[in-house]
Structure 1
């Protein structure tokens, strides 16, 4: 082989290498550029825009389908949710947050303020009273007894018996007291004075004070008798039964709606101190809750919640329409950023492809030079 043949093969190898390398380099660049179609008049320049910009929508659609079918699958998500390690992590996080909350010095008012909810005790009392009043108006045509729990209605007879015993004891105490004795004396004097001549004659034979000594024990015996207790018990039971059969509207009408509303407000203010409740720290409400109980209940709740969530994963993913979500995000991604990401991941491989183009082009050039020598 003379020097001319050597330079021929070398020149063809260099030309082939340059062509192969530049061709691969341009092919890689044409994946991304140009970003938009280039027109000369009405004629669109071939291979514009680049492959990825041109097939951007198809790429986004395909990527969305790939993510749903092979990456974020319902089975994969379910397996992750019921994984023991994942449940332990969620449980530890939930336990930390719950204990931080129940041991907080913050008040209910502060917590509501964080949610942009302003709470005023007077407003709460007014709203609660108004709600109760509306409920009473709705029940106006119903009997009072029909609104009471069965257990409470069954106890009305016992309540009447206890009330009768209490009234009987109060009467006995009064009759046996100094005031009771004076009242009996007044009644005896009044009785005798109201009888004219007969009363004067009786007064001459009977001292009113001694009459009181005889009458007072008789009254006490009569008041304390079992028959009196039964009479009082029956009387109260009958009145209670009459009250239970009265309609709500009839009772409120007799009392007066304004008085009923005012009574409701007063009861609410005395029984529900909203200001005190709102300004009490959270940990005060939780101080009787044992840590062990919280941990046990919380662990059970986390496990059950994750399992229920795992059962609903297919429905949730279907409602989320992940494929369309990914497609939309990819379609709206800037092309420059897509190019940067791909090059950041595959820049080394793209360089190797370019170098391979140089190598293969050079090899092809060498073979072409050898063939040219024989021809």
Structure 2
């Protein structure tokens, strides 16, 4: 009876010691979190193993992740896998359908990605772009003649238009001098002429009698304008002036007038015609609706087919720039020991309990053997 009690006692003590020892060993992986000092003497085994070696652990974890887990080859294989590409196509198609079904305007969509006042900024950019282009073109042609800067076909067409221009001028002249306004203009001119001649003008008026001088002049002016020789003369004059203009340098032309007002009006006209604010107020769905079927059916699969290999080929360079090992090391070092312990226990709590239980089993087995030996030889 005494031997049986001894065996049971030693088995119990051995199991308790084994379980407690393993439990303490597991806890000493993390605890204590900080070194414990008694005066100037530091208590051995403080801090725990992981707090003491956290820097080395962070370095090793970073290297392991960068060299064996999150490698360029593994990411490239994942990106190149047909299943992943199918999932990417389906995801982008669903997102595109949602975008096309949305009522958001282009302006609202841009503001959602923190592009504020897109219409105003676009108008400002366009204003600056027009001014830069105008100044660049102006500077490049300052020493060129009009003939050198204009295409040859333009100058030829203009020369061919000269007879039409002179005919138009003469027709307008005939219409004007045939009208009441033209008649009044002739009367004023003749009155001014006669007034300048004094008595001679009065005598001339007496000779004409009841007929006014403008009544005599008006038909002659119209007759002169209708004369074929007048048109030939005007054609020649216009052609000569056009040739002179073609030989002008742009520097001389710009020196004769200020182009700032013209540029400002031109910019305002172009921006007004483009009506940029109304463009940004249009719904995205309205803008993309004509391209919906082609975008979903053709564009997105083509984008994935070409985009993923391109992205995969850039993975090594991106990974090198990211310094994955440093990121993991910094993240591990930033964890508190309490958080790190909680993470490890969440992952391996069951296994750690089994280790504690195994320590109890081994301790109990050792106690059993000791109890038998003591019982037999005691």
Instruction: Give the TM-score band, short-chain normalised.
Output: 0.7 to 0.9
In the alignment, is the contact (CA less than 8 A) between 1:125 and 1:265 conserved in 2? no
Number of the residue aligned with 2:250 = 246
Write the distance in 2 (CA, Å) between the matches of 1:72 and 1:105. 41
Per mean C-alpha deviation after superposition, the further-off stretch among 28-37 and 254-263 is 254-263
In the alignment, is the contact (CA less than 8 A) between 2:224 and 2:230 conserved in 1? no
Write the distance in 1 (CA, Å) between the matches of 2:27 and 2:123. 73
Write the distance in 1 (CA, Å) between the matches of 2:172 and 2:304. 65
Secondary structure of the residue that 1:368 maps to in structure 2?
A: helix
Secondary structure of the residue that 1:259 maps to in structure 2?
A: helix
Number of the residue aligned with 1:28 = 26
In the alignment, is the contact (CA less than 8 A) between 2:107 and 2:119 conserved in 1? no
Cα 1:305–1:28, aligned 2, differ >3 Å: closer, same or farther?
Answer: same
Describe how 1:1-375 pairs up with structure 2 within 5 A: 3-102=1-100, 104-114=102-112, 115=114, 117-118=116-117, 128-129=126-127, 132-133=130-131, 135-137=133-135, 140-143=138-141, 153-161=151-159, 163-164=161-162, 166-171=164-169, 173-174=171-172, 219-220=227-228, 223=231, 236=242, 239=245, 241-243=246-248, 245-247=249-251, 250-289=252-291, 291-293=293-295, 295-372=297-374, 373-374=376-377
Write the distance in 2 (CA, Å) between the matches of 1:358 and 1:229. 121
Q: 1:10: Cα distance to partner?
A: 3.4
Q: 1:14: Cα distance to partner?
A: 2.9
Q: 1:151: Cα distance to partner?
A: 11
In the alignment, is the contact (CA less than 8 A) between 1:129 and 1:268 conserved in 2? no
Q: 1:75: Cα distance to partner?
A: 0.5
**What is the TM-score when the length of structure 1 is the normalising length?**
0.74
In the alignment, is the contact (CA less than 8 A) between 2:106 and 2:280 conserved in 1? yes
Number of the residue aligned with 2:211 = none
**What is the TM-score when the length of structure 2 is the normalising length?**
0.74
Write the distance in 2 (CA, Å) between the matches of 1:130 and 1:147. 27
Cα 1:110–1:365, aligned 2, differ >3 Å: closer, same or farther?
Answer: closer
Partner deviation per Cα, 1:195-248 (whole Å, 9 max, x = no partner): xxxxx9xxxxxxx89x97x9679734874x8x9879866764663x335x423x
Write the distance in 1 (CA, Å) between the matches of 2:169 and 2:31. 108
In the alignment, is the contact (CA less than 8 A) between 2:11 and 2:366 conserved in 1? yes
Write the distance in 1 (CA, Å) between the matches of 2:175 and 2:266. 38
Aligned residues: 353
Cα 1:84–1:261, aligned 2, differ >3 Å: closer, same or farther?
Answer: same
Write the distance in 2 (CA, Å) between the matches of 1:357 and 1:133. 84
Write the distance in 2 (CA, Å) between the matches of 1:228 and 1:67. 89
Write the distance in 1 (CA, Å) between the matches of 2:26 and 2:334. 23
Secondary structure of the residue that 1:155 maps to in structure 2?
A: helix
Write the distance in 1 (CA, Å) between the matches of 2:278 and 2:323. 48
Partner deviation per Cα, 1:43-89 (whole Å, 9 max, x = no partner): 22222222222222222221111111221111010111122222222
Q: 1:116: Cα distance to partner?
A: 5.3
Cα 1:144–1:334, aligned 2, differ >3 Å: closer, same or farther?
Answer: same
Per mean C-alpha deviation after superposition, the further-off stretch among 5-14 and 331-340 is 5-14
Write the distance in 1 (CA, Å) between the matches of 2:30 and 2:320. 33
Q: 1:268: Cα distance to partner?
A: 2.9
In the alignment, is the contact (CA less than 8 A) between 1:252 and 1:260 conserved in 2? no
Structure 1 spans left out of the alignment, 5+ residues: 194-199, 201-207
Write the distance in 1 (CA, Å) between the matches of 2:6 and 2:124. 104
Taking only aligned residues, the RMSD between alpha carbons, in angstroms, comes to 4.3
